[in-house]
Each structure stands twice: as C-alpha cells, then as structure tokens.
C-alpha cells in the first residue's frame, strides 16, 4: 500500500477499498483530494445492495485518510485512516439507518470507535477498530446481502485485503 508520492499511496489505498466494496456493489466510489495529503472516499448517492430475499438496502461508506511519510520505508508514503463511517440503511431516508460503525476522534463527542444500532438509540457501543472488509463480510453473512462475485472470489478478496490492512495498521484490529 506504500507509494513513492502521497498521491500514489492514496491511489493504492483507494484501490483496496474499491476492490473490497466491489464484492457487494457495482456502484462507483467517489474520491476527493482535499489537500496534498488529505483524501476522502464516499458513496454519492448511497449504493444500493440487495439481500437474497429481495430486500433492498442502502449502503453509505465514508473513509477519511491522510498520506504520510512511511515510518519504516524511507522515501515512501503510506495511507493512514483518520475517520470512518460505515452505515446500512433500510431506505432512502436518513432515519431508516439500521446500524452505523463510527470512528471520528477529531469531532465533538465520543472519541473511541463505536457502533450505533437502530433499536438502541443514543447508545455508543464500543468496538475495536473495524475494517471495511469486516463490515462487508458482516453484510454478506448476517444480512444476507447478495455478493456480486463467486463465493471463492469475494472471500479471497476480503481475506487478502484484511491481511494487507492488518499488516499496515498501526492500531491493530481485535479479531472476533
């Protein structure tokens, strides 16, 4: 995931995210370079995903990251996540949100990564850091979201990208 320039590191990181999201949606991913080192990835509009029983959901994924000098590879840059939001909605209105994984330590309020559930309003369930691959796997496994790819393909992508994430993450995931 490292790159010779901040932009190359960002491109590499974005490619991981889009490959992971490709497992469940064919919706394009939007990316914005706010400054030389600050990047934002999001869905606009939200991506439609469909469960095996035919139910439709909307997916909103937002990831904010910086490209910083690589601490171990001189002259290289790496991406470092600054904030994230992964949300599943039951319909087009914001109040149909079913769950949301948040980590936004730079904003007011709760600084640790947490989970919001529709049925438990105002509760911030503490979580480990949640990677996008685990969120996508949750949708396929527990919400029965129909994968776009064959089982062996999406499993291989999620496993491979999660391994890459774990290798590069300064703050490690606590696996279930």
Partner 1 sequence: MPAKKPKTVQVKWVTKGEFTSMVDSRAKRVHGISGKQFITRWKNGRYRKLDADTCPGAVELAILAPLPRNKSGRKNSKRGRR
Structure tokens at 148: 């776009």
Q: Are 57 and 86 in contact (CB under 8 A)?
A: no
Among 4, 5, 26, 36, binds partner 1 (CB under 8 A): 26
| Total Cβ atoms within 10 A of residue 47 | 18
List binders of partner 1 among 40-59 (CB under 8 A): 40, 42, 44
To the nearest whole angstrom, how small is the minimum distance from the Cβ of residue 148 to partner 1?
8
List binders of partner 1 among 87-116 (CB under 8 A): 87, 94-95, 97, 100, 102-109, 111, 116
> H or E segment at 48?
strand 47-50
64: contact with partner 1 by CB under 8 A:
yes
25: contact with partner 1 by CB under 8 A:
yes
Structure tokens at 79: 């991406």
Among 153, 156, 159, 163, binds partner 1 (CB under 8 A): 153
How distant, in Å, are the alpha carbons of 76, 103, 111 from that of 108? Answer: 33, 11, 8
Closest CA to 84 of 100, 62, 113, 114: 62
Residue 10 CA to residue 6 CA, distance in Å, equals 6
Candidates 23-31, 50-58, 136-144: pick the segment binding partner 1 (CB under 8 A).
23-31
69: contact with partner 1 by CB under 8 A:
no
81: contact with partner 1 by CB under 8 A:
yes
2: contact with partner 1 by CB under 8 A:
no
Structure tokens at 15: 């490619």
Q: Are 44 and 58 in contact (CB under 8 A)?
A: no
Which residues in this chain contact partner 1 in the complex, by CB under 8 A?
1, 13-15, 18-19, 21-22, 25-34, 40, 42, 44, 60, 62, 64-65, 68, 78-85, 87, 94-95, 97, 100, 102-109, 111, 116, 121-123, 129, 148-149, 153, 165, 168-171
């Amino acid at each position: 995931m490292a790159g010779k320039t901040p932009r190359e590191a960002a491109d590499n990181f974005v490619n991981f995210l889009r490959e992971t999201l490709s497992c469940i949606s064919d919706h394009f991913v939007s990316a914005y370079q706010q400054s030389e080192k600050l990047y934002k990835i999001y869905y606009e509009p939200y991506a439609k995903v469909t469960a095996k029983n035919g139910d439709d959901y909307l997916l909103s994924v937002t990831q904010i990251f910086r490209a910083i000098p690589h601490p171990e590879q001189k002259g290289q840059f790496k991406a470092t996540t600054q904030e994230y939001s992964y949300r599943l909605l039951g319909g087009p209105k914001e109040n149909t949100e079913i769950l949301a994984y948040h980590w936004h330590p730079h904003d007011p309020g709760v600084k640790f990564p947490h989970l919001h559930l529709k049925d438990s309003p105002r509760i911030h369930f503490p979580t480990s850091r949640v990677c996008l691959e685990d969120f996508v796997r949750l949708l396929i496994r527990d919400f029965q979201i129909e994968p776009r790819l064959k089982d062996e393909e999406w499993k291989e992508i999620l496993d491979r990208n999660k391994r890459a994430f774990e290798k590069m993450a300064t703050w490690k995931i606590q696996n279930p």
